[in-house]
Amino acid sequence: MENSNSLIWTEKYRPKTFGEVVGQEDIIKKVESLTKSINIPHLLFAGPAGTGKSTLALIIVKELFGVHWKENYLELNASDERGIDVVRQKVKDFARTKAIGDVPFKVIFLDEADALTKEAQQALRRTMENYTRTCRFVMSCNYSSKIIDPIQSRCTIFRFKLLEKKDIEKRIKIIAEKENLQIDDPAIESLYEGSEGDCRRVINLLQASSSITPSITSELVNTLISSAKPADIKIVLEYALSGDFLKAKEKLLDVMLKESVSGTDIIKAIQKEVWNLQIDDELKVRLTEKTGEIEFRLVEGSDEFIQLEALLAGFVLAGKGLIK
């Protein structure tokens, strides 16, 4: 097995063909059809991280150009190079030159395009208009709403979704087989919960786990995730709802210090666990609203433990039927 500390698994197990991409079947069918017909418009891939946007862009280019793909492909990370000068110089210079081979256009991939400034997007809009014959743009972003309307209207938009458990499980088993790893079902469940549908994070967690032992368990994965365990959060909430504020507070402090879990991670874990509690749905809604209010305060810079204590106090009042 290759050195796990080099963190090369993400690239090593990146899908190489349309058929290897998991979880985006509808998008893959449409994009593959466009690629085979060599009739590609400008494309905009929008969606969460680790769902296959950059991978799909690479597959398109390799399918179009074969061995000459590097000569006909320019990739820019817009979060690093987001100014108007980049669009006017680097992008424009590449777009105006003729493609090598039979395909009549080159491809420019702008990763994290939602990080481009408005001025750069306006300049890009003109470049897309002027060099359509010699260049196609593929852009990826987390939020399509941050892309100006004139660019959106020039693109075919594909919206990616977080991967489901079956998709994540499929990828884990492929890697486990090739790397001679033993992974039980609880570990797969922990990897999925820890990744929240982000395949890149799954692969990194899997690689980190394998550097410790080839027999990967749920306990090992949870240790690496560094997030609050659902069982611990459940105990905290049960103490609070039963009216025992002190025990709830002690258990929460224990979780935060021993597991080194931040306040925002605790909030996310509480929000998930609220819906597993044996209480009325109306009360779940009120507690979720209260959780959201505390999360906002934490983001604004309030003291983590004081705000989480306030949240527990709200749960205690809810347990006594006093919450409004």
Contacts of 16 (CB under 8 A, 6+ apart): 59, 62
Domain assignment present for residue 18? The answer is: no
**Phi, psi (deg, nearest 5) at residue 203:** -65, -40
Q: Are 260 and 239 in contact (CB under 8 A)?
A: no
Residue 78 is part of which domain span? 24-159
Contacts of 138 (CB under 8 A, 6+ apart): 42, 43, 44, 45, 57, 60, 107, 108, 109, 110
DSSP one-letter string for 192-260: HHHHTT-HHHHHHHHHHHHTT-SEE-HHHHHHHHT---HHHHHHHHHHHHTT-HHHHHHHHHHHHHHTT
pLDDT of residue 220: 87
Domain assignment present for residue 284? The answer is: yes
Q: Which residue has the higher pLDDT, 317 or 5?
A: 317
pLDDT of residue 322: 61
Domain assignment present for residue 56? The answer is: yes
pLDDT of residue 219: 84
Residue that is last in its domain, among 183, 207, 225: 225
Distance CA 56, CA 72 (A): 16
pLDDT of residue 294: 92
Domain assignment present for residue 98? The answer is: yes
State the average pLDDT over residues 166-188.
90
Name the token pair of 243: 């009216």
Domain assignment present for residue 12? The answer is: no
Does one domain contain both 283 and 219?
no
Q: Is the pLDDT of residue 129 over 90?
A: no
Contacts of 148 (CB under 8 A, 6+ apart): 118, 121, 122, 125
Q: Is the pLDDT of residue 302 over 50?
A: yes
Does one domain contain both 149 and 187?
no
Domain assignment present for residue 14? The answer is: no
Number of domains making up the chain? 3
State the average pLDDT over residues 22-51.
91
Residue that is last in its domain, among 195, 225, 255: 225
Q: What percent of the chain has pLDDT over 90?
A: 34
Does one domain contain both 247 and 216?
no
Does one domain contain both 183 and 220?
yes
State the average pLDDT over residues 171-188.
90
Q: Which residue has the higher pLDDT, 34 or 323?
A: 34
Does one domain contain both 84 and 153?
yes
Q: Is the pLDDT of residue 93 over 60?
A: yes
Does one domain contain both 147 and 170?
no
Does one domain contain both 108 and 154?
yes
pLDDT of residue 226: 67
Residue that is last in its domain, among 183, 201, 225: 225
What is this structure's pTM? 0.77
Distance CA 154, CA 224 (A): 43
Q: 180 in the Ramachandran plot: left (φ > 0), alpha (ψ -120 to 50) or beta? A: left
Domain assignment present for residue 6? The answer is: no
pLDDT of residue 149: 94
Q: Which residue has the higher pLDDT, 79 or 74?
A: 74
Does one domain contain both 149 and 28?
yes
CATH number at residue 32: 3.40.50.300
State the average pLDDT over residues 176-197.
88
Residue-wise pLDDT tens digits, 222-264: 878 767 777 888 899 999 988 899 999 999 888 888 777 888 8
Distance CA 123, CA 151 (A): 10
Does one domain contain both 203 and 125?
no
pLDDT of residue 6: 47
Q: State CA 111 to chain mean position distance.
A: 14
CATH number at residue 184: 1.10.8.60
Distance CA 108, CA 130 (A): 14
Does one domain contain both 127 and 47?
yes
Q: Is the pLDDT of residue 186 over 80?
A: yes
Contacts of 302 (CB under 8 A, 6+ apart): none
Does one domain contain both 136 and 42?
yes
Does one domain contain both 71 and 198?
no
pLDDT of residue 60: 95
Q: Are 267 and 294 in contact (CB under 8 A)?
A: yes
Helix 199-210 crosses helix 185-195 at what angle (to 10 degrees)?
130
pLDDT of residue 106: 93
**Phi, psi (deg, nearest 5) at residue 110:** -105, 105
pLDDT of residue 80: 61
CB neighbour class for 287 (10 Å; exposed up to 12, middle 13-18, buried from 19):
buried
Domain assignment present for residue 5? The answer is: no
State the average pLDDT over residues 188-204.
88
pLDDT of residue 1: 41
pLDDT of residue 3: 44
DSSP one-letter string for 264-282: HHHHHHHHHHHTTSSS-HH
* H or E, element range at 59: helix 53-65
Q: Are 113 and 147 in contact (CB under 8 A)?
A: yes
